[in-house]
Amino acid sequence: MTVSAIEFSRLGPPKLRLYAMRCTSCEVLSPWWEHHHCYACGGADMVEQELAGTGELTNYTVVYYPPRDFLGQEPYVVGHITMDEGVLMPAPVVGVAPEDIEVGTRVKATLRRMKLGHEGDIYYSQKFVVDAESAPAT
Ligand SMILES: [Zn+2]
Protein backbone atom coordinates (compact mmCIF):
# COMPACT_ATOMS: atom_id res chain seq x y z
CA MET A 1 0.00 0.00 0.00
CA THR A 2 3.05 2.25 0.12
CA VAL A 3 4.91 2.87 -3.13
CA SER A 4 7.76 5.17 -4.07
CA ALA A 5 7.36 8.00 -6.57
CA ILE A 6 9.22 5.91 -9.14
CA GLU A 7 6.83 3.01 -8.70
CA PHE A 8 3.97 5.50 -8.61
CA SER A 9 4.85 6.86 -12.04
CA ARG A 10 5.33 3.35 -13.39
CA LEU A 11 2.31 1.67 -11.86
CA GLY A 12 -0.02 4.63 -11.60
CA PRO A 13 -2.71 5.37 -9.02
CA PRO A 14 -4.73 2.16 -9.53
CA LYS A 15 -2.09 0.24 -7.58
CA LEU A 16 -2.89 2.49 -4.64
CA ARG A 17 -6.55 1.65 -4.55
CA LEU A 18 -7.98 0.74 -1.20
CA TYR A 19 -8.82 -2.90 -0.78
CA ALA A 20 -9.36 -5.70 1.67
CA MET A 21 -9.08 -9.45 1.21
CA ARG A 22 -12.35 -11.35 0.87
CA CYS A 23 -12.56 -15.04 1.67
CA THR A 24 -14.25 -16.91 -1.18
CA SER A 25 -15.57 -19.55 1.23
CA CYS A 26 -17.27 -17.46 3.90
CA GLU A 27 -17.19 -13.97 2.31
CA VAL A 28 -15.68 -12.42 5.45
CA LEU A 29 -13.35 -9.50 4.82
CA SER A 30 -9.85 -9.48 6.28
CA PRO A 31 -7.36 -6.59 6.32
CA TRP A 32 -5.36 -6.20 3.10
CA TRP A 33 -2.22 -7.84 4.44
CA GLU A 34 -4.05 -11.15 5.10
CA HIS A 35 -3.29 -12.64 1.73
CA HIS A 36 -3.24 -16.32 2.57
CA HIS A 37 -5.46 -17.08 5.50
CA CYS A 38 -9.02 -16.23 6.46
CA TYR A 39 -9.19 -15.63 10.21
CA ALA A 40 -12.91 -16.51 10.25
CA CYS A 41 -12.96 -19.95 8.62
CA GLY A 42 -9.31 -20.76 7.94
CA GLY A 43 -9.88 -20.70 4.20
CA ALA A 44 -6.86 -20.04 2.03
CA ASP A 45 -8.59 -18.64 -1.05
CA MET A 46 -8.54 -14.86 -0.66
CA VAL A 47 -9.37 -12.32 -3.34
CA GLU A 48 -8.97 -8.56 -3.35
CA GLN A 49 -12.07 -6.51 -2.86
CA GLU A 50 -12.14 -2.76 -3.33
CA LEU A 51 -13.36 -0.58 -0.50
CA ALA A 52 -15.45 2.56 -0.86
CA GLY A 53 -12.90 4.50 1.17
CA THR A 54 -15.08 5.75 4.00
CA GLY A 55 -15.16 4.63 7.59
CA GLU A 56 -15.15 5.58 11.21
CA LEU A 57 -12.27 6.11 13.61
CA THR A 58 -12.52 3.43 16.28
CA ASN A 59 -9.20 4.08 18.00
CA TYR A 60 -6.12 6.21 17.48
CA THR A 61 -2.65 6.99 18.71
CA VAL A 62 -0.89 10.35 18.61
CA VAL A 63 2.75 9.87 17.63
CA TYR A 64 5.16 12.37 19.23
CA TYR A 65 8.38 10.40 18.72
CA PRO A 66 8.20 9.01 15.17
CA PRO A 67 10.53 6.54 13.51
CA ARG A 68 13.30 8.15 11.47
CA ASP A 69 11.43 8.07 8.16
CA PHE A 70 8.64 10.16 9.61
CA LEU A 71 10.69 12.77 11.49
CA GLY A 72 9.30 16.27 11.04
CA GLN A 73 5.70 15.08 10.70
CA GLU A 74 5.13 14.78 14.44
CA PRO A 75 2.83 15.03 16.18
CA TYR A 76 0.62 12.99 13.90
CA VAL A 77 -2.36 10.73 14.32
CA VAL A 78 -2.37 7.04 13.43
CA GLY A 79 -5.91 5.76 13.41
CA HIS A 80 -7.58 2.40 13.56
CA ILE A 81 -10.36 2.90 11.07
CA THR A 82 -13.30 0.57 10.75
CA MET A 83 -14.21 0.79 7.09
CA ASP A 84 -17.91 0.85 6.21
CA GLU A 85 -17.42 -2.68 4.84
CA GLY A 86 -16.51 -3.72 8.39
CA VAL A 87 -12.81 -4.35 7.96
CA LEU A 88 -10.03 -2.73 9.97
CA MET A 89 -7.60 -0.32 8.31
CA PRO A 90 -4.73 1.21 10.25
CA ALA A 91 -3.62 4.47 8.62
CA PRO A 92 -2.51 8.02 9.37
CA VAL A 93 -5.25 10.62 9.79
CA VAL A 94 -4.13 14.00 8.48
CA GLY A 95 -5.45 17.55 8.31
CA VAL A 96 -6.70 17.56 11.87
CA ALA A 97 -4.95 18.61 15.08
CA PRO A 98 -4.33 15.71 17.51
CA GLU A 99 -6.35 17.52 20.20
CA ASP A 100 -9.34 17.81 17.86
CA ILE A 101 -9.55 14.16 16.87
CA GLU A 102 -12.01 11.86 18.59
CA VAL A 103 -13.23 8.29 18.39
CA GLY A 104 -16.28 8.04 16.15
CA THR A 105 -15.04 10.66 13.67
CA ARG A 106 -16.08 9.90 10.08
CA VAL A 107 -13.07 9.68 7.79
CA LYS A 108 -12.36 9.05 4.12
CA ALA A 109 -9.30 7.87 2.25
CA THR A 110 -7.06 10.19 0.26
CA LEU A 111 -3.74 9.72 -1.48
CA ARG A 112 -0.91 11.65 0.18
CA ARG A 113 2.83 11.79 0.32
CA MET A 114 3.81 9.36 3.02
CA LYS A 115 7.50 9.82 3.63
CA LEU A 116 10.84 10.63 2.11
CA GLY A 117 12.93 7.53 1.44
CA HIS A 118 16.57 7.20 2.36
CA GLU A 119 17.63 8.13 -1.14
CA GLY A 120 15.30 11.08 -1.50
CA ASP A 121 12.57 9.12 -3.21
CA ILE A 122 9.06 10.06 -2.20
CA TYR A 123 6.62 7.43 -1.03
CA TYR A 124 2.88 7.70 -1.46
CA SER A 125 0.19 5.92 0.45
CA GLN A 126 -3.37 6.12 1.61
CA LYS A 127 -4.06 8.50 4.46
CA PHE A 128 -7.39 9.51 5.89
CA VAL A 129 -8.99 12.92 6.33
CA VAL A 130 -11.98 13.91 8.41
CA ASP A 131 -15.16 13.52 6.38
CA ALA A 132 -17.85 15.68 7.95
CA GLU A 133 -20.36 15.02 5.15
CA SER A 134 -20.37 11.26 4.92
CA ALA A 135 -23.24 9.43 6.52
CA PRO A 136 -22.55 7.10 9.43
CA ALA A 137 -22.62 3.39 8.70
CA THR A 138 -25.99 1.83 9.35
ZN1 LIG B 1 -13.35 -17.52 5.39
Q: Say if residues 138 and 54 touch (Cβ distance below 8 Å).
A: no
Ligand 1: distance of its center to the CA of 50 in Å? Answer: 17
Ligand 1: distance of its center to the CA of 52 in Å? Answer: 21
How confident is residue 62, by pLDDT bands cut at 50, 70 and 90? very high
Ligand 1: distance of its center to the CA of 23 in Å? Answer: 5
- pLDDT over threshold 90, residue 138: no
pTM of the model: 0.76
Ligand 1: distance of its center to the CA of 8 in Å? Answer: 32
Q: Say if residues 5 and 119 touch (Cβ distance below 8 Å).
A: no
Surface-to-core class of residue 18, CB atoms within 10 Å of its CB (0-12 exposed, 13-18 middle, 19+ buried):
buried
Position 57 scores a pLDDT of 96
Position 18 scores a pLDDT of 86
How confident is residue 14, by pLDDT bands cut at 50, 70 and 90? very low
- pLDDT over threshold 90, residue 110: no
The domain segmentation of the chain, as residue ranges, is 53-130
Ligand 1: distance of its center to the CA of 79 in Å? Answer: 26
Compare 58 and 120 and report the one with higher pLDDT: 58
What is d(CA 107, CA 83) in angstroms, rounded to the nearest whole number?
9
How confident is residue 8, by pLDDT bands cut at 50, 70 and 90? low
